[in-house]
Amino acid sequence: MAKVYVGLSGGVDSSVTAALLKQQGYDVTGVYMKNWTKDMPGFPCPWKEDYQDAKRVAVQLGIPFKVYDFQTKYKQLVVDYMIDEYKSGQTPNPDIICNQEVKFKLFLNAALKDGADMIATGHYARVKNGQLLTAKNKDKDQTYFLYIVSEDALKKTLFPIGEFTDKKQVREMAKKFGLVTAAKKDSQGICFVGQVGIKEFLSQYVKTKPGKIIDENNKIIGEHEGAIFYTIGQRHGLDVGGGLPYYVTGKDMKKNEVYVTTNLDDKQIWGREIKLTDVHWINDEPNAKKTYQVRTRHRAPLIKGTLNKLSNKTWQIKLTDEVRALTAGQSAVIYNGQHILGGGVIV
């Protein structure tokens, strides 16, 4: 009987994951990862409630329950990285780094050291022979955030929720098992931090000052609260008022200036070529002569594209259609049908 450590977050997806694996005959242990406990002004961290719900589920299922305290490492590997990237003018994706460094490295290694044969999480994804596949529920598919997980880690990972075609099925299954999390709302916001928005979060760590908002005619049209808070293609939160909506086309971190346009067709907002760095392929390198599908942000439509290898860690993608708001620091992920090949960080 394989021993599986399930990452119990206190949510319904991970709860059902643990219940299903126990039902399937695995020797299941529930693990709550204590990654972040700090409250933000007006945004109390939900970790205590999540921890208690995870523990209640373990008691309901009659499985052992452990707590892994990763707070120091999480701060170093995820939070500090995110802050540094924003300071440099990038728009990073903390959920991707959290998966890479915390769930599928720290958690996996700690579980294996503890005697586990495998780990499981409540991700909407599927895995087969070390290959990452899209979830059957296309609306909930989370493979965009998992492209950076290694083949070795995937061979030791289970994603039972990935087989469900509808979120309702998951909640119905939770009710069937009598789990306390059956009706609990899905968490939003930054990975593990809770409902706090990125602006409020960054404000606790970075000193910002107002600066100029400049339009395509080099005219000052307003004032922003700090260039760090703005990203390419952004429309909301500019607060310049009147007339047509403005879209962010760029920013200068040294000058603390944000550049905008009312022209939605502006070439600075749209792009057909992507340069990727820190490229990671889960299994084998893709074939440069073949056409694949590319996703440039979570839940964005897949667009056909061809790949060109520039160096070991740098690749170029040429898309068949233009994509809006290609943003430095975000990731582009490469799909071959339901199979996720890997991806990299947009530069």
Give the 3-state DSSP-derived string for the chain, with helices as H, strands as E and coil as C: CCEEEEECCCCHHHHHHHHHHHHCCCEEEEEEEECCCCCECCECCCHHHHHHHHHHHHHHHCCCEEEEECHHHHHHHHHHHHHHHHHCCCCCCHHHHHHHHHHHHHHHHHHHHCCCCEEECCCCEEEECCEEEECCCCCCCCHHHHCCCCHHHHCCEECHHHHCCCHHHHHHHHHHHCCCCCCCCCCCCCCCCCCCCHHHHHHCCCCCCCEEEECCCCCEEEEECCHHHCCCCCCCCCCCCCCCCCEEEEEECCCCEEEEECCCCCCCCEEEEEEEEEEEECCCCCCCCCEEEEECCCCCCCEEEEEEECCCCCEEEEEEEEEECCCECEEEEEEECCEEEEEEEEC
Confidence of residue 195 (pLDDT cuts 50, 70, 90): low
Tell the CATH superfamily of the 270-346 domain.
Answer: Translation factors (2.40.30.10)
Per-domain residue ranges for the chain? 3-177, 208-261, 270-346
Predicted confidence (pLDDT) at residue 224 exceeds the cutoff of 60: yes
Q: How confident is the model at residue 193 (pLDDT cuts 50, 70, 90)?
A: low
pLDDT of residue 190: 61
CATH of domain 3-177: 3.40.50.620
> Of 309, 302, 298, which Cα lies nearest the Cα of 331?
298
What is the CATH T-level fold of the domain 208-261, as seen in this structure? SH3 type barrels. (2.30.30)
Range of weakest confidence among 34-43, 91-100, 221-230, 292-301: 34-43
Q: Which residues are tagged catalytic?
A: 98, 191
pLDDT at residue 199 greater than cutoff 80? yes
- pLDDT score, position 66: 98
Q: Which of 14-18, 264-268, 312-316 has the lowest mean pLDDT?
A: 264-268
Task: Work out the average pLDDT over 5-9.
Answer: 97
Please tell me the pTM assigned to this model. 0.93
Tens of pLDDT, residues 287-323: 988 999 999 999 999 999 999 999 988 999 999 999 9
State residue 192's pLDDT score: 53
